[in-house]
Amino acid sequence: MNHYVDFISQALEIIVALVAAPLLTGWVNQCRAWLQNKSAPSMLQPHRMLHKLFHKEVVMAEHASPLFRMEPYIIFGCMILACGIIPTLSTRLPLSSAADAIALVGLFALGRVFLALAAMDIGTAFGSMGSRREMFIGFLAEPALLMVLFSASLITNSTSLANIADNLTHRQLAIYPSLAFAGIAFTMVLLAENARVPVDNPATHLELTMIHEALLLEHSGRYLALMEWAASLKLFAYLCIGFAIFFPWGIAEAGHPFALILSIPVLAAKLAVGGALLAVIETASAKLRIFRVPEFLSMAFLMAVLGMLVHFLLGA
Amino acid sequence: MDHLLLLVLVTPLLGSIALVLLGHSEAAPEINVGFSLVTFVASVLLAAEVIAQGPTIFIGQYFFADSLSVFIAALTAFVGMTTSLFSRPYMRIERDNGRMTERRMRLYHSMYQLFMFTMLLALLSNNIGIMWVALESATLTVLLLVSIYRTAASVEAAWKYFILSGVGIALALLGTILLYLAAARHFGIAGDALLWTNLQSAKAYLEPATTSLAFVFLLVGYGTKMGLVPMHSWLPDAHAEGPTPISAVLSGLLLNVALYAVLRFKGLADGALQNGLPGKMLVGFGLVSVLVAAFSLSRQKDVKRMFSYSSIEHVGLMAFTFGVGGPIATYAGLLHMTAHSLVKSAIFFSVGHACQKAGTQIIADIRGLAHVSPTVGCGMMLGALAILGLPPFGVFSSEFLIVTTAVRELPWAAPLLILALGVAFATIFSRVQSMVFGETTAKPLAHSPALLPLFIHLGLALLLGLYIPPYLHAWYVQAAHIITG
Amino acid sequence: MTGVSSQILNLLAALLLLLTFAMLGQRRILSLITLFMLHGIVVVVSALLIGYATSNHHLYFSAGLTLAVKVMLIPWILHKLVFRLKVKREVETLINVSVTMLIGIVLVIVAFNIALPVAALSSSVASGTLGIALACVLLSFMMILVRSNAIPQVIGYLTMENGLFFAATAATDGMPLLVELGVALAVIGGTLVVGLFMFQIREHFDDLDIHNLETRKED
């Protein structure tokens, strides 16, 4: 019986991820618009755009290599796998043994590498520039993310995200300063990796200021749809990692089929709050100049290391 | 007895307040001298009583005096008095030259008395926290005094002093807190753990790890005020840019009080640790100070900076000898403390007037003092000879004892010491010789120079070298006992 | 000593460390003064908490004193100074921010290592936080070294005193009141003197950049 529940929860997670990710992006855009006193498009707009893009023809550069054709699928696959591993709805996931938290970071890195390669593949100036910047930010953000995950692992004695979430749910309610530091660091890394203000403005149309958008300039049709979907999935995945580590309550544990049903509205609520907070942070910050981004990210790294050190010192 | 101690402490405080009110008047220097004289007499009486009665606690545990502290207190009050005598004509000449205004005279005199108060409070307090507060306040008064000329260079010197001293004092506070922590285990968390008397009696119960950490911080912190290398860089600037009486007081008094604090803590740490670590640290710092200072002497072009490096060298010597430990070395250290205070302040007295005559502090521009003012020139020559350790002055006896102890206890250090002393001798002697002899066109001073303090100091130093009076000898022995525990 | 107070204290100590790092990386002087005020508030709150938890009433007085001096009086004086002296609002650092932060991390590790054997000795509620207090002291020390303007150096010095006060309350439930009073007096006196001093610096050099004060070298 439990076996089936596990498979169902795994499948449900992936489906929920696919459906909820564009909704999340739409929600964040809505919140941003409200905060800026504009009227927002509906939350379903990203879904409509994906639908539109899938029905459009692909226009591709003549000298694009097979790498360019494969890349959207690879990236989309990485993101789906990531969403499958992260315990969004349940901590008993058959796929979670495929990768622990550190391998998850590796998975994101794989996606990033292919993204950068594909953009350079076409050989345009903006593509290469975008790749460089993307790798630059990734290089600085990865250590910070790893440190955050290390802090969480040290507290819970496991590197598997599912186990971390499980462990933290079962503990007594206590204030963990090390997790507080790790939380701040994680937020900063989230902003950097998902191309949000203050690191990169997702709504910009000036190519010279683009980081993530520049990588998508050459894609069209279903490739663009997959890439946009992958970007939403990445944001969804990051938010869920944050919830798993810092707010793990509500995730269904093993052997509670009804809890699985309950966990969906809980996740929705958490995502709503998280998305709103993200919009607030984006609206309140100004975009950093590109040479200040290392400072921002070294601050994140610092917070994460501090969290670890504080854990060693205070045992908390 | 309580009254005597109160008199010793209250007089400079009252003097400071009085000089705030009366400092602009023409008689301010005389008032300064008056208060210093009263302080000195009171401290001598107090010393006599304490020597007779033994270590005493006053006014319900707040103050404490034994032979060591009362000896340094008497020395402090004495040098304070003679320096105030020197400062009388000196500051008047400075005012006539336009470097001081009425307002600044008021600030100078009141801060001078306040500085004496903080010094005496630090020496006579039983509470190590209060001692810290007193030394911190001394830092503030010196800050105001060093910058009194308001030139760019003096402002810079005072700022450097503030930063270095401030950091040092903060580290000393950390050391104090850690020591309190180590002691609180035994005494419980109350005021008692901060009292010298209690700490002395419970030395063996202090927790070793915390105490050694505390001593490190205390040594570095109070060592900054002492002028140990590498925390010494404020010293030459402060000496060069402040008024000369302040240089005399810094070299002659503040260094001693900081050394006193370090010695007390060393006694405690030795009792708690039993592994000789404090002594080794003092030896290390001392030796480095002596060498660095001796080799920096030749690069100095300003006469006051040169003598300030000489102060650093002697402080290093004192740290070295107290670090070596043992009765002879400690006796030598105490003798050296006395002789150095007397002779260094005497040198600064003569240097002050020499600079006023020549109108400059650059060595190369001061010439022919012997022609223009034979007494000042003679004083400087004698002072320089004294500080360089020539017999029959007191410094020779103490340096001799130090070097012989070094040869016996730490043979590898003795050649370094002798080398440093030799280099210092050559440098200072050649510079002073060029200043005292030669042709000059300097003019006479407006007020007659203060010769009395200069020659009193030199005379006392000579006395120390020739014949140490028995009561003084007994005093030193008692104090040495206290330090070596 | 209940677990909740201990946890809140740990959180406050972590917050203190965070604030000290923030001060280390902050360029604007007015924000620095605000951070310093927050620093003081955290120290006051922790002192109040320890006083409440150990029923040590003199800590309430110490906390009140610190509040009056470090949170209200001194930031007010500093604000006045910044406006009267027309200080440049942004300060350059001698080494760039990222390197400063990394060195800061190393200092924190050093401080934690030093404090571990000492903290085992203390029976106080907040013994684990002695390492953090020591780290704050070392970080403020670095702030003094790394800044090239007079006001951040003074703020670094005052932060050091804050860290020491926190160390005293953490390790030994505070120093005796007399000493606290003396320390507070010394701090106020110091700030006033240094404040007056800054006018002198301003008079001779047109701004408070420390580089102007480094002309006197060994000759």
> Complex ipTM, two decimals?
0.86
| pLDDT confidence of residue A255 | 60
d(CA A239, CA A226): 20
pLDDT tens for B80-136 read 999 998 888 888 888 888 888 888 888 888 999 999 999 999 998 888 888 998 998
DSSP B321-333: HHHH-SHHHHHHH
DSSP chain A: -HHHHHHHHHHHHHHHHHHHHHHHHHHHHHHHHHHTT-PPPPTTHHHHHHHHHHTSPP---TT--HHHHHHHHHHHHHHHHHHHHS-SSBS--GGGGG--HHHHHHHHHHHHHHHHHHHHHH--HHHHHHHHHHHHHHHHHHHHHHHHHHHHHHHHT---HHHHHHHHHHS-----HHHHHHHHHHHHHHHHHTT-TTT--TT---GGG-SHHHHTTT--HHHHHHHHHHHHHHHHHHHHHHHHHH--TT-B-TT-HHHHHHHHHHHHHHHHHHHHHHHHHHHHSPPPPGGGHHHHHHHHHHHHHHHHHHHHHH--
- How large is the angle between the packed helices C3-25 and C97-119, nearest 10 degrees? 150
Q: Nearest by CB to A313, from C7, C21, C131: name it.
A: C131
pLDDT band at B460 (very low <50, low <70, confident <90, very high): confident
d(CA C73, CA C101): 30
| pLDDT confidence of residue C208 | 65
Average pLDDT, stretch B406-417? 88
Q: Does C11 touch chain A (CB under 8 A)?
A: yes
- State phi, psi for C28 to the nearest 5 degrees: -85, 135
pLDDT tens for A216-252 read 888 888 999 999 999 999 999 999 999 988 888 877 7
Residues 6+ apart with CB under 8 A from B121: B9, B130, B131, B134
Mean pLDDT of chain C: 81
Characterise B276 by phi-psi region: left (phi > 0), alpha (psi -120 to 50), beta (else).
left
pLDDT band at C219 (very low <50, low <70, confident <90, very high): very low
More confident: B316 or B368: B316
d(CA C160, CA C154): 10
Scan for tokens 């495929």, then name that residue: A98
Share of chain A above pLDDT 70, in %: 97
Residues 6+ apart with CB under 8 A from A185: A144, A147, A148, A300, A301, A302, A303, A304, A307
What is the 8-class DSSP label of residue B125?
Answer: B
pLDDT tens for B131-186 read 998 998 998 899 889 888 888 888 888 888 888 888 898 899 888 888 888 887 77
pLDDT band at C206 (very low <50, low <70, confident <90, very high): low
Scan for tokens 């980081």, then name that residue: A211
Q: Which residue type, as a one-letter code, is found at position C140?
A: S
Most confident of B49-58, B188-197, B339-348: B339-348
d(CA B162, CA B158): 6
- Chain C, window 123-162: residues with a beta carbon less than 8 angstroms from a chain B beta carbon: 123, 134, 137, 141, 144, 150, 153, 157, 160-161
Q: Are C118 and B185 a contacting pair at CB < 8 A?
A: no
Q: Pick from B140, B150, B164, B174 the residue to mutate for testing the C interface (most C CBs within 10 Å).
A: B174
CA C147 to chain B, closest CA, distance in angstroms equals: 12
d(CA B433, CA B14): 43
pLDDT tens for A104-120 read 999 999 999 999 999 88
Q: Which of C122, C53, C111 shows the shortest CA–CA distance to B181?
A: C122
Q: Are C128 and A314 a contacting pair at CB < 8 A?
A: yes
Residues 6+ apart with CB under 8 A from B426: none
d(CA B168, CA B179): 16
Q: How many CB atoms lie within 10 A of CB B470?
A: 8
Burial class (CB in 10 A: 0-12, 13-18, 19+), B264: buried
Residue B118: HSE in the Cβ half-sphere, 13 Å Cα cutoff: 23
pLDDT band at A254 (very low <50, low <70, confident <90, very high): low
Q: Give the CA distances from residue C177 to residues B190, B284, B321, C168, C169, in Å, rounded to whole numbers and listed in that order.
A: 10, 37, 37, 12, 12
Mean pLDDT of chain B: 85
Q: Which residue type, as a one-letter code, is found at position C189?
A: G
Q: Are residues A286 and A198 in contact, defined by beta-carbon separation less than 8 angstroms?
A: yes
User: What are the beta bridge partners of residue C147?
Assistant: C93
Share of chain A above pLDDT 90, in %: 40
pLDDT tens for A16-56 read 999 999 999 999 999 999 999 999 889 899 999 999 999 99
For chains A and C, what is the number of CB pairs under 8 angstroms? Answer: 62
More confident: B9 or B190: B9
What is the 8-class DSSP label of residue B218?
Answer: H
pLDDT tens for C133-185 read 889 999 998 888 888 777 888 899 899 988 888 888 877 766 777 777 778 87
Q: Give the CA distances from residue A77 to residues A70, A98, A146, A293, in Å, rounded to whole numbers and listed in that order.
A: 11, 14, 22, 29
- Res C125 pLDDT > 60: no
- Res B299 pLDDT > 60: yes
CA C74 to chain B, closest CA, distance in angstroms equals: 17
**Which chain B residues have a beta carbon less than 8 Å from that of C194?**
143, 162
Average pLDDT, stretch A157-167? 84
Can chain C be said to touch chain B, i.e. do they have 3 or more Cβ pairs within 8 angstroms?
yes
Average pLDDT, stretch A51-75? 91
Rg (CA), chain B: 21
What does the angle CA C12 – CA C15 – CA C16 come to, to the nearest 5 degrees? 90
Instruction: Look at residue B360 and give its three-state secondary structure.
Output: coil
pLDDT band at A180 (very low <50, low <70, confident <90, very high): confident
**H or E element at residue B30:** helix B28-53
Q: Does C129 touch chain A (CB under 8 A)?
A: yes
Q: Nearest by CB to B137, from C141, C164, C186: name it.
A: C186
Q: Which of B209, B126, B238, B224 shows the shortest CA–CA distance to B173?
A: B224
- Res C16 pLDDT > 50: yes
Q: Nearest by CB to C112, from A294, A299, A313: name it.
A: A313
- State phi, psi for A252 to the nearest 5 degrees: -65, 135
Q: Are C11 and A180 a contacting pair at CB < 8 A?
A: yes
| pLDDT confidence of residue C36 | 93
- Res B202 pLDDT > 80: no
**Which chain C residues have a beta carbon less than 8 Å from that of B150?**
200, 203
Q: Which of B84, B168, B82, B80 shows the shortest CA–CA distance to B123?
A: B80
Q: Are A302 and C132 a contacting pair at CB < 8 A?
A: no
Average pLDDT, stretch B341-366? 85
d(CA C62, CA C40): 12
**Which chain B residues have a beta carbon less than 8 Å from that of C144?**
163, 167
pLDDT tens for B414-426 read 899 899 999 999 9
Share of chain C above pLDDT 70, in %: 86
Q: Does C14 touch chain A (CB under 8 A)?
A: yes
Q: Does B140 touch chain C (CB under 8 A)?
A: yes
Task: Take residue B374 and report the two structure tokens written for it.
Answer: 């034979």
- Res A316 pLDDT > 60: no
Average pLDDT, stretch C68-96? 81
